[in-house]
């Protein structure tokens, strides 16, 4: 998390190609960039075009990822493959962390991080997102609404603790759960302003600590658990019945949640993405102001 000379905010592109349907995906990507600029920072949406990693996609490149067929979902293990084969790629949290860090961008806004997936029908889950290890490796400020609600949140919180990732509650004392404002899982520290987060990030850097500072922001348009939880359980069982694995799981679950809730999760998702982008921009500006 080096001291920034200008306020930059990285944005991932999986939400464009795999997280939302068209045209909502393209509109959302441009709205996130506009939200960052409105707070006085500059967005850097990250993706791969023809195998080339781009840190700062143009509107035309965003449209391409939003509409093209066969855009690969790119995590860390896929970066070299996509580059060598000249593929278009939408970057996950893990891949975006790598490319943002490599480009010197110290703040990253996303929706929800990946983590430990829920077990279906009583079976143990070995499906663990590469996002967790990437968060333990790359020293960025990562702004999110907690982990995706489709995950095993307790196991994911434990995994973050095991990896030494500091979880910050931005105006909250427990880690939010994407669609919900609070859970039973305490954060490591509460910060109520962007300046507090910036001071914490700089202390993290001065101590030479590895990994990200995970800033969790309560969603601005939460949904009641009694509405979302049954839909998640049904979607998880459906994914298991279809034999979906790895990169196939999350896009399927998000689509099914949208269908099962009459589109309410989509609206909540868009609202939290914009809120996270605004908070990340404020933190990026505060980091520039810090000595």
* Domain extent listing, the chain: 8-289
pLDDT tops 90 at residue 260: no
Q: Are 257 and 265 in contact (CB under 8 A)?
A: yes
DSSP 12-67: -SHIIIIIS-TTHHHHHHHHHHHHHHHTT-EEEEEEEETTEEEES--HHHHHHHHH
Question: Could you confirm whether 12 is annotated as catalytic?
Answer: yes
Angle between helices 225-241 and 264-289 (to 10 degrees): 100
* Per-residue pLDDT reduced to its tens digit, 92-151: 999 999 999 999 999 999 999 999 988 765 555 678 999 999 999 999 999 999 998 888
Please give the model's pTM, rounded to 2 decimal places.
0.92
| Cα–Cα distance for residue pair 25/2, rounded to 1 Å | 31
- 8-289: CATH number: 3.40.1790.10
26, 33, 39, 148: the catalytic one is: 148
- 187-203 residue pLDDT tens: 999 999 999 999 999 99
Mean pLDDT calculated for residue range 43-70: 98
DSSP symbols for 224-282: -HHHHHHHHHHHHHHHHHTT--GGGHHHHHHHHHHHHTTTHHHHHHHHHHHHHHHHHHH
Q: Of 48-52, 202-206, 229-233, where does mean pLDDT reach its minimum?
A: 229-233
Please state, rounded to an integer, the average pLDDT across all residues of the chain: 92
Task: Please give the pLDDT value at position 226.
Answer: 83
**Taking a C-beta distance cutoff of 8 angstroms, is the pair 8, 55 a contact?**
no
165 and 97 in contact (C-beta within 8 Å)? no
- pLDDT tens-digit profile of 154-181? 999 999 999 999 999 999 999 999 988 9
Closest by CA position to 215, among listed 116, 107, 60: 107
Which residue reads 């309410």 in tokens? 264
Give the active site residue among 12, 24, 39, 275: 12
3-state class percentages of the chain: helix first, strand second, coil last, to nearest 5: 45, 20, 35
73 flagged as catalytic: no
């Amino acid at each position: 998390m080096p001291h920034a000379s200008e306020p930059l905010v990285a944005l991932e592109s999986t939400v464009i190609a795999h997280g939302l349907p068209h045209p909502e995906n393209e509109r959302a990507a441009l709205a996130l960039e506009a939200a960052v600029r409105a707070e006085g920072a500059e967005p850097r949406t990250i993706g791969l075009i023809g195998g080339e990693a781009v840190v700062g996609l143009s509107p035309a490149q965003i449209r391409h990822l939003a509409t093209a067929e066969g855009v690969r979902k790119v995590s860390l293990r896929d970066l070299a493959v996509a580059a060598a084969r000249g593929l278009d790629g939408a970057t996950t949290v893990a891949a975006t962390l790598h490319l943002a860090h490599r480009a010197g961008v110290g703040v990253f806004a996303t929706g929800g991080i990946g983590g430990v997936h829920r077990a279906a029908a009583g079976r143990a889950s070995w499906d663990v997102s590469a996002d967790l290890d990437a968060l333990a490796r790359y020293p960025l400020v990562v702004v999110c609404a907690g982990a995706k609600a489709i995950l095993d949140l307790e196991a994911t919180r434990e995994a973050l603790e095991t990896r030494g990732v500091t979880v910050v509650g931005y105006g909250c004392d427990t880690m939010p759960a994407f669609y919900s404002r609070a859970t039973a899982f305490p954060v490591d520290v509460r910060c109520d302003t962007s300046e507090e987060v910036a001071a914490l990030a700089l202390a993290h850097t001065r101590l030479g600590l590895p990994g990200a500072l995970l800033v969790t922001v309560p969603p601005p348009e939460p949904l009641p658990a009694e509405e979302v939880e049954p839909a998640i359980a049904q979607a998880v069982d459906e994914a298991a019945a279809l034999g979906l694995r790895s990169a196939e799981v999350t896009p399927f679950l998000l689509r099914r949640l949208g269908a099962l809730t009459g589109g309410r999760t989509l609206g909540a998702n868009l609202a939290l993405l914009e809120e996270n982008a605004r908070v990340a921009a404020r933190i990026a500006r505060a980091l520039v102001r810090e000595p």
